[in-house]
Amino acid sequence: MPATLELPHLGEIATVAGAKDVPAIRRLPEPGHPASHTSRVGLWFGTLIALILLIAPGAIVARIGQLAWPLAVVVAPTLTYGAVALAIIPFGALGIPWDGWTALATLAAVGMLMTGLQLLLARFRDTDAETRGIGRWPALTVAAGVLLGALLIMWAAYRGIPHWQSIPSTWDAVWHANTVRFILDTGQASSTHMGELRNVETHQALYYPSVFHALTALFCQLTGAAPTTGYTLSSVAASVWLFPAGAAMLTWHLLRASWGEWRAAGAAATAAALSASFTAVPYVEFGVAAMPNLAAYGLVVPTVVLTASTLRHRDRIPLAVLALVGVMSVHITGGVVVVLLVLAWWLLDVLWHPVRGRIGDFLTLAGVGAAAGLVLLPQFFSVRQQEDIIAGHSFLTHLSKKRGVFDAVFQHSRHLNDFPVQYALIALAAIGAVILLVKRIWWPVTVWLLLVVVDVDAGNPLRGPIGALAGALGEFFYKDPRRISAAITLLLEPMAGMALFSIVVVAVGGAKRITDRSKPQPAPLWVGATAVLLIVATVFSARHYFYRHLLLFGDKYDSVIIDQRDLMAMAYLATLPGAHDTLIGNGNTDGTAWMYAVADLHPLWTHYDYPQQMGPGYYRFIFWACARRGDSDPRVVQAVKALNIRYILTSTPTVRGFAVPDGLVSLDKSKSWQLIYDNGEARIYEWRGNGAAPHS
């Protein structure tokens, strides 16, 4: 008879067949153990290491490309991802493993390539234009704003994810962590080879952007972090840094020519700090585990500004190509936003105020796009095979168009239904839009209006030619209002920042004029007062929205789908004979796919799936539908043999309340599957059909 095994630290009793051979106390592996989901690294220190890995390689490349330090640090992440993208696609095709050594070789090769290209393009360097770059003190001012914004976001992450090494319950988190584990196990990091992980039975080709995961795998190798830990820390690092830096950079780009260096720097610093208050990115994207999409959106602005700078600095063309490859490879949606912004900027600004002539400007921008397109061709060919899947996405809100307009304008996507509208931030953004229009900077407001129309169409399709255009563009965003709102936020942040800066400057200027009538005060006093008011305003705003951001960061680190009992079951399963050498049968609607990231066990389903099977695999379907029949169905016997399945792991609850696959229902009644472990939530069954011998 099955005996019972007491789990003292859980206060639970697990039923284990043959427990006389099992140690009296079975605990989870220590942090850092290959079968563990945790690591000996703190959230703050781990995020810092992830930031260094994100910024340092790209900064080296940027400095080789003759960029000044302030610009080099801001564009560094997109160049880092670009270098990764250049390597993993050919490496995957040639069978070269992606690891720390090949990554170092990649950095050296990219550095040498950039050195050679800089020598070839030296005659195009515009030294006069370089002297108009940002000065030291204005740069430090902007840096202070970026660091404040990053610190405010980091504080929300720190407070929002106290159990940050637990297993998140979001839909896509398991896929991201499993992809990191797959890269660590196999060295295969190519975006065009993800079918080897997803399509377990057939290995049918599948494209999935894996550049984010490839860099995370390097982080795990360098620090010894577990895949789940690496996934969380890399996601926090991208959230913390990319959006304050991007908000500052776009504000500077918009205002430098008309506002002067110091005023533009002040507005850029304000926008960076204020970016921590906008909810759509990074908080909503983090909350739904859309990490490649989150990172790609964070790379948009540096790529746009770097590409725009090539008109005056033609020696930067190789860097712009690498940046565009990077953002496109992290997630194509981010690349689409880059193209949209650059196209609008060219049509509504540069075409009327050319830098080196209309034809010359067009050829420069077209050259950047064409060169990046050639590098990205293998990815484009792969993703074309999935056009039907992408086009099949729909996130209709079933609300009126009037409500759709309100939600699009006020950034109130379905994930924010439980929170008040951010009226104050939208009011600031509206003032900023007016400032841009007065300054005749048309393109940001035009793109904002276009994206609002696309957002409305995604929730409630429009008719006529406008609907057709909006629908075609919305396909690149999976017709998801949430994704479109995130893109809109990239434009709202600099608008709100310049508005807040203007309001404070006007208020301080008014106070100065009043006091000057009686007792004039030195200029540094007013500068200091302006800085203090801006710091107080941005911190107060972040504090006001702190609890929604705290919740969005950590709400799904709740141990609902995978808790301690599931982890105990996975740890026990990992000790069973043949568990690491066979495929583990599991369901596609519970959390058991986490066994790969957590315990390096190979599940039949490496991701959640819809209630019915998606993707190829005859035997996988037979198992999904009929496994409980065992020996009574010859197809099940064939499937078990073909898939090399010895054990089944089941768990409750299921994600989104989806039904348990028919083949895994009532396994207790099957004569071919014997229950060997049960802790009240997770169960392990062993195949005993067709003459199979039980394990000892």
Beta bridge partners of 645: 583
What pLDDT does 123 receive? 87
CA atoms of 7 and 507, how far apart (whole Å): 64
- In DSSP terms, 7 is beta-bridged to 12
Q: CB-based burial of residue 373 (10 Å sphere; 0-12 exposed, 13-18 middle, 19+ buried)?
A: middle
The contacts of residue 484 (CB under 8 Å, 6+ apart) are: 408, 451, 454, 455, 458, 474, 477
- Tell me the backbone φ, ψ of residue 253, rounded to 5 degrees: -60, -40
β-bridge mates for residue 677, sequence order = 16, 684
Whole-angstrom Cα distance, residue 266 to residue 502? 10
How many Å separate Cα 338 from the centre of its chain? Answer: 16
Rg for the chain, CA atoms, rounded? 27
Q: What is the DSSP string of 142-206?
A: HHHHHHHHHHHHHHHHHHH-TTTTS----TTHHHHHHHHHHHHHH----GGGTHHHHSTTT----
Smallest CA-to-CA distance from 174 within 692, 588, 626 is with 588
Query: In the prediction, which pLDDT does 233 show?
Result: 97
Distance between CA atoms of 330 and 324, rounded to whole angstroms? 10
Helix, strand, or coil (residue 18): coil
The Cα 138–Cα 140 span in angstroms is 5
What is the predicted pLDDT for the residue at 614? Answer: 59
Q: Between the CA atoms of 372, 376, 377 and 381, what dihedral angle is there, to the nearest 10 degrees?
A: -140
Q: How many angstroms separate the most distant Cα atoms in the chain?
A: 101
| CA gap 364, 385 in Å, rounded | 31
Rounded Cα–Cα distance for residues 307 and 301 (Å): 10
DSSP string, 599-661: H--EES-SS---SS--SS-HHHHHHHHHGGGGGGSHHHHHHHHHHTEEEEEEESS-GGGPPPP
Kindly list the averaged pLDDT for each block of 10 residues, start to end, along the chain of length 696.
40 50 38 50 93 98 96 98 98 97 98 97 81 89 98 98 95 97 98 95 93 98 95 98 98 96 97 98 97 98 98 96 98 97 98 95 98 96 77 78 95 92 98 98 98 96 95 94 97 98 98 92 95 98 97 96 96 97 95 97 90 72 94 96 97 89 94 96 93 48
* Residue 596: HSE in the Cβ half-sphere, 13 Å Cα cutoff: 30
Per-residue model confidence (pLDDT) at position 358: 96
Contact (Cβ atoms closer than 8 angstroms) between residue 217 and residue 230:
yes
Task: Produce one character per residue of 111-143: b if its CB has 16 or more CB atoms within 10 Å, e if not.
Answer: bebbeebbeebeeeeeeeeeeeebeeebbebbb
Q: Is the peptide bond before 282 cis (omega within 30 degrees of 0)?
A: yes
pLDDT at 389: 66
Query: For the CA atoms of 81, 319, 327, 58, what is the dihedral angle to 10 degrees?
Result: 30
At a CB cut-off of 8 Å and minimum separation 6, what does 415 contact?
Answer: 284, 287, 288, 482, 552
Rounded to whole angstroms, the Cα distance separating 244 from 150 reads 6
- Where exactly are the structural domains of the chain? 3-30+562-687, 43-387+397-476
Nearest CA-CA partner of 606 in 620, 622, 626, 625: 620
The pair of three-digit structure tokens given for residue 470, joined into one six-digit string? 């909006």
What local confidence, expressed as pLDDT, does residue 19 receive?
38
